[in-house]
């Protein structure tokens, strides 16, 4: 394993580093792009996918946000619970069954990229797709360096992983512009989410677990 860099990479340098590490690999490569809500995970993944596609690689995009639990599970510990936000937001078992297991290096390649429609609060069972033997799987989402995805079922998941380093003052402001949510990280109306993500950072220390840290502020 390469020695980690002391300082976070710039966005451009981080993208270049990832492309240089992914291109020589054979088989399927699983890449996690983690960060707080509003860190720019989806945009970073899209830019990385474009660069990889331009270099001739097949890219499969997956968002962890498409594997939510139903509302009654997400809020089982209370509507304001930061602990509940971390523990209950995502359907890990479905994500492992539909994405991680089949798209791993020894998987069958038969996968599904969604299990839940958050807008309509509806479970989904889309058709199975078949991945080629040579492909890059880019997964963006929160909590991807958490203990439940470190070695699920005794197997390492991520070939490469990224932590997008963004202060809450920046990420919350982005969300306010995008969604109309409060613009202050200390606002009690978003305490469940901000405090939950702080809890995840304290528990998982994703910057230390990631192969690459990118300053995406």
Which residues are bridge partners to 130 per DSSP? 110
SS3 213: strand
DSSP 18-42: HHHHHTT--SEEEEEEE--TTS-HH
**pLDDT single digits (tens) 39-91:** 999 999 999 999 999 999 999 999 999 999 999 999 999 999 999 999 999 99
Structural domains of the chain sorted by starting position, each given as residue range(s) with its CATH number in brackets:
12-211 (3.40.50.300)
Q: What is the pLDDT of residue 156?
A: 84
Question: What is the DSSP code (8-state) at residue 80?
Answer: T
**Those residues with Cβ within 8 angstroms of residue 102's Cβ, 6 or more apart along the chain or in another chain:** 108, 109, 110, 111, 131
State mean pLDDT over 9-36: 96
pLDDT per residue as tens digits for the range 96-131: 999 999 999 889 999 999 999 999 999 999 999 999
DSSP string, 92-142: HHHHIIIIIHHHSTTS-SEE-S-SEETTTTEE--PPPEE--SSEEEEEEES
SS3 (DSSP) at 171? helix
* Average confidence score pLDDT of the chain: 95
> What pLDDT is recorded for position 49?
98
What pTM does this model have?
Answer: 0.95
Helix-then-strand count for the chain, H and E: 9, 9
Residue 1, pLDDT > 70, answer no
The answer, yes or no, to whether residue 36 has pLDDT greater than 80, is yes
**4: confidence class by pLDDT, cuts 50, 70, 90:** low
Residue 2 pLDDT: 55
The per-residue pLDDT for range 149-167, each reduced to its tens digit, is: 988 887 789 999 999 999 9
Residue 182 predicted with pLDDT over 50: yes
């Amino acid at each position: 394993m390469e020695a980690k860099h002391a300082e976070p990479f710039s966005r451009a340098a981080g993208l270049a580093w990832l492309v240089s590490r992914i291109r020589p690999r054979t088989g399927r490569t699983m890449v996690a792009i983690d960060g707080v809500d509003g860190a720019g995970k989806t945009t970073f993944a899209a830019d990385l996918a474009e660069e990889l596609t331009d270099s001739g690689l097949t890219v499969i995009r997956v968002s962890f946000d498409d594997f939510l639990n139903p509302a009654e599970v997400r809020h089982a510990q209370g509507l304001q619970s930061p602990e509940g936000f971390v523990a209950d937001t995502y359907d890990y078992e479905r994500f492992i069954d539909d994405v991680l297991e089949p798209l791993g290096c020894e998987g069958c390649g038969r996968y599904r990229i969604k299990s839940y429609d958050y807008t309509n609060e509806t479970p989904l069972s889309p058709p199975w797709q078949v991945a080629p033997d040579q492909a890059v799987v880019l997964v963006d989402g929160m909590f991807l360096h958490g203990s439940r995805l470190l070695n699920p079922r005794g197997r390492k998941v991520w070939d490469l992983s990224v932590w997008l380093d963004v202060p809450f003052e920046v990420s919350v402001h982005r969300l306010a512009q995008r969604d109309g949510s409060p613009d202050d990280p200390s606002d009690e109306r978003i305490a469940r989410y901000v405090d939950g993500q702080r809890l995840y950072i304290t528990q998982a220390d994703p910057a230390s677990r990631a192969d690459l840290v990118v300053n995406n502020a």
